[in-house]
Structure 1
Amino acid sequence: MTTRVPVLISGGGIAGLTAALLLQREGVYPVLVEKHAGLSPQPKARRFNPRSTEVFRLLGLAAEVAEASAPLASFTEVLTGPTLVEARARELSGTMRERRRQQARIPELSPGPNVLCPQAVLEPILRRAAGERGVSVRLGTELVSFAQDDDGVTARLKPAGGEPYELRADYLIAADGARSPIRTALGIPRSGHGHLADNLDLYFRADLTDLAREKPFNLCEITNPVASGAFLSVNGTDRWLFSTADFPDAPTLGDGDWHDVLRIVLGLPDLDVELLSRSPWESAMRVADRFRAGRVFLTGDAAHMMPPMAAAGANTAIADAANLAWKLAAVLAGTAAPTLLDTYHAERHPAGYAIAEASSTVRGHVGDMLAAYLKPESPHDDLLATMFGTQYPEGAFVPDGRAPAPAGHYAPAGRPGTRLPHAWLDAQTSTVDFAGPGLTLLTGPGNDRWTSEARRLGLRQVTVSHPGWLAEVCLPDDGALLLRPDVIIAWHSASATPLADALPRVLGTAPVPA
């Protein structure tokens, strides 16, 4: 007899693991399969922004992530030079000063920090948490085929060295990477700028502790006649990455050749170097035209492939997972209609496309991207608006009649379809912490009108008395906000739609008026 599960996730990277943990938080226990038994030989993504670390906070993993990112906490410098030894920080332009000013404001706006934590370090934390919390994580198991019908998805799974077997799931999440066999099987086309550059990452071990102590760099642009590109810090002591695009004959070069190249661009001719892995990769922008096909949902790189300069790929994947998990959980629990799942594409496709396009403004390797980013005349978006101020054009929320949030600067006002602003309510508690499980009604201190209403509608109610926060979200003392588990506001009491009518519209159980 074929086993049935609520959700099957194909892919055990950041997107798949985050989706699994968020589903479990909402009371759904998925099965996750990953064809590789071990971790990637490359560090992959490193920068996780506050929107992502807010998710880790909601998952109770903030302390572990902070500990894992501690080795690179002071590695903030961006350098440039012909070699790492000769590299120096660029003179700060007005653009760079503005970016640093914006970065300095992040602690005011989020309980989650910006962290440097290589994916190869973060994934074991997420994997361990998933297993400990009851998620079935099946490593070394590949999804080889699937078929869907009106009632579910039947997947054929193949463990390494074992016999294939079938699993039946209500829904399938494709978190299986940029080449996504699931997306390919569904025949979903992709749009965007396409190919931008071919790159090669050299992941190597070398003791640079003393040099790194002198210049704790996050990124270092290298312009050298032997090889141009960029160095990236992996652990700040003996593990590093050099990314280049200057070697079309790379397959013909052996480890000894690469050792020589690395010594030259490091500027340390006698350094002991060990090449741990080399990984060719394509810089490209390709966004799936559909993030949903029936009972199958695309997340992460399967949905949107983008260049790495804005460090947006993994962060966008986490936002996908946060958006999708609570919706699947609500439909599986019977509290929402299946039509709620249509809002995943409606919300995440325009967001994913915009982020991928913004990440594709420079065509070249990582060094080229970094050089363009550092140019004094380089255009820049408002970092805070980009990170915290995104507004969904339509989806699982009820507009309140106000004009859209400004695109050019961050000005939160509690609009439905935007992220809930952060405020510390005490030394440990942020307003963001009230997101999920399930929907939450946040009320001002004059909450008499809402207590019985929340009880009648089956909503958890939390009273917030912070005057500054209430003003920021345009909420009077007797006002209320409906908060989704992904920290997005679903309804504001300024709306002409009463809460009792708004709730079924958010959950898809009532038609949206024309």
Structure 2
Amino acid sequence: MTERTQVLVCGGGVAGLTAALLLQAHGVQTVLVEKHASTSPQPKARRFNHRSNEVFRLLGLSDPVAEASAPLASFQGMLTGPTLAEARWPEITPTMRAGIALHERMDGYSPAPSVLCPQDVLEPVLRRAAEERGVSVRFATELVSFTAADSGVTAALRPAVGEPYELAADYLIAADGARSPIREALGITRSGYGHLADNLDIAFRADLTELVRDKKFNLCQIENAVASGAFVSVNGTDRWLFSTSDFPASATLADEGWRELLRTVVGVPDLDVDVLSLMPWESGMYVADQYRAGRVFLAGDAAHAMPPMAAAGANTAIGDVHNLAWKLAAVLSGSAVPALLDTYHTERHPVGYATAEFSSRVSGHLGTMIASVTSGEHPVDPVAALFGAPYDSGAFLPDGRGPAPTDHYAPDGRPGTRVPHAWVSAGVSTVDLAGPAFALLTPPGETRWTARAHALGLRTVEVPDPAWLDAAALTPGDALLLRPDAVVAWHSRSGIPLGEAWSRVLGRPVAVDA
């Protein structure tokens, strides 16, 4: 007998696990399969930005994520030198000082901080939460093949223990990595710069506590005749990673050879070091030309492989599934028409392409990434890019104000942009009001919206903060409609009635305003 579920997620990394948690929060029956027996043993992505942490906050995971990221809380700077022992902080120029101040201001724009949390530490947190909350999480289970039809998807699954079986799902999310067999089977082409660099990550264990006591770094650029690259802090004490592009994937130095290389670039000749793993990987830009193929959706690296610029790939992946989960839930519940799902590609493909392109221009490997960051020069305003980047079109109704600025952050409640942050009450931000359903945000005392919202089944929330009302362009009599992914769907200044707007966003017959 074929097993059934509403959504099948293939891939147990950050993208897949976050997708499963979001779907579960929306009440969607979800099965997650992952061919490996455990989450990633590699640190991989580490810098999870404010927007990603807002999603974890929405999922009620603020405390476990904070605990997981605590060891690296003070490891924020970037060093350069011929060895780690000789590495020093770069000279702070006026341009760099302005850049540092800009990044410090980011905390004021979000209810959640940016955190350093290695992927091999974060993924077990997400997996545990998914299992505890009722997601059917099946590691050591490979998706061997699938057939997609107008009515759904049927997957052939092969567990490491037990007999192969079939699972039918309404929809399939392919979060199965940059080499995505699902994307390949669908014949979806990719665009971008292509291959940029071959890299080798050497994960190792060595007690460097005293060496880094006065220079707690996030990344350390190394320029050495033996090997150039970058050191990465994994736990700030005895777990580290050295990433280099100086060795081909076929290179072998034997165990003692790799240990000697590490002793050289660390700068401690008698260092007691244990090589944990060697992971060759390609840095490149490959963006899928379509994020949707019928009932199948690409997310994360399957949709957009890119260089590791501030974990851009992982953060973009979290944005992908935050966008997709509520749309799948709305369609599965019958509150939206299936055409809503087309807006996943419409909204997220331009974001994925632009992010991958930017990362590729400044980062073929970690060394070039550090050089681009320490220069203090930003080709785009990072605050505007993180908090104010607009969708050009999609599941929202423009209000005639034109595109949001990209050279500075100017929140104004514009449809297609993330809602500005402000504290509504103790510990509750306007960003927290997103999901699992839509919400109508108004100035205080706007009771005329209450009946309309009630008739449509919408929550209403009065926001008393005058600064936020100004930032959201809400004057007396105004309101804005907030999507479950914290994106503004409608602003009353558009002149479109609320009921009509609500219906048009979801693609349903136009409702009559109460």
Normalising by the residue count of structure 2, what TM-score does the alignment of the two structures yield?
A: 0.97
Mapping for residues 110-509 of structure 1, pairs under 5 Å:
110-248=110-248, 250-362=250-362, 364-375=364-375, 378-509=377-508
Deviation at 1:99, TM superposition (A): 1.8
Q: Is the 8 A contact 2:40 2:123 kept in 1?
A: no
* 2:443–2:478 contact (8 Å) kept in structure 1: yes
Whether the 8 Å contact between 1:148 and 1:295 is mirrored in structure 2 is yes
SS of aligned partner of 2:423: coil
What does the per-residue CA deviation read over 1:372-398, in whole Å, with 9 as the maximum and x for residues that have no partner? 33236x443211011101100000001
State the shift of 1:365 in Å: 2.4
Aligned length: 510
Answer with 459-468 or 45-54: which moved more: 459-468
Identity %: 67
Secondary structure, counterpart of 1:210 in structure 2: coil
Could you tell me which amino acid in structure 1 is paired with residue 16 of structure 2? G
**Pairwise CA RMSD:** 1.2
* Code of the aligned partner of 1:414: G
Q: How far is 1:59 from its partner?
A: 0.3
**Distance in 2 between residues matched to 1:37 and 1:240, nearest whole Å:** 24
Deviations 1:19-73 (A, max 9, x none): 1111111111200001011132211110000000000000000011111111100
Query: How much does 1:163 deviate?
Result: 1.5
Preserved contact between residue 95 and residue 380 of structure 1 (Cα < 8 Å): no
AA matched with 2:247? F
Report how far residue 499 of structure 1 moved.
Answer: 0.7
Q: In structure 1, what is the Cα distance between the partners aligned to 2:193 and 2:130?
A: 36
Unaligned 5+ segments in structure 1 are none
Deviations 1:379-437 (A, max 9, x none): 43211011101100000001111121101110010000000000123331111111011
d(CA) in 2 for partners of 1:73 and 1:444?
37
Q: Deviations over 1:136-174 (max 9, x none)?
A: 000100101000111100000000132110000000000
Rate the CA distance shift 1:288–1:80 in 2: closer, same or farther, 3 A: same
Instruction: Kindly state the Cα deviation for residue 210 of structure 1 after the two structures are TM-superposed.
Output: 0.9
Please state how far the C-alpha of 1:442 moved relative to its aligned partner.
Answer: 1.2
CA contact (8 A) 1:446 1:478 kept: no
Contact 2:440 2:482 in 1 (8 A): yes
Q: Please say which of residues 287-296 and 243-252 is displaced more in the overlay.
A: 243-252
Tell me if structure 2 keeps the 8 A contact 1:445–1:478.
Answer: no
Q: Is 1:44 aligned to 2:44, yes or no?
A: yes
Query: 1:106, CA displacement in angstroms?
Result: 1.4
Name the stretch that deviates more: 458-467 or 391-400.
458-467
Note if contact 1:197-1:363 (Cα within 8 Å) is conserved in structure 2.
no
Alignment check: 8 A CA contact 1:41 1:277 kept: no
Which structure 2 residue ranges, 5 or more long, are not aligned?
A: none
User: Following the alignment from structure 1 to structure 2, what is the Cα–Cα distance between the partners of residues 363 and 53?
Assistant: 24
String of CA shifts for 1:277-301, please: whole Å, max 9, x gaps: 0100000000000000000000000
Tell whether the 8 Å contact from 1:154 to 1:167 is kept in structure 2 after alignment.
yes
Task: Give 1:274 shift.
Answer: 0.2
**Aligned partners of 2:45 and 2:454: how far apart in 1?**
43
Q: Which moved more, 1:215-224 or 1:85-94?
A: 85-94
Q: Is the 8 A contact 1:218 1:232 kept in 2?
A: yes
What is the one-letter code of the residue matched to 1:481?
Answer: L
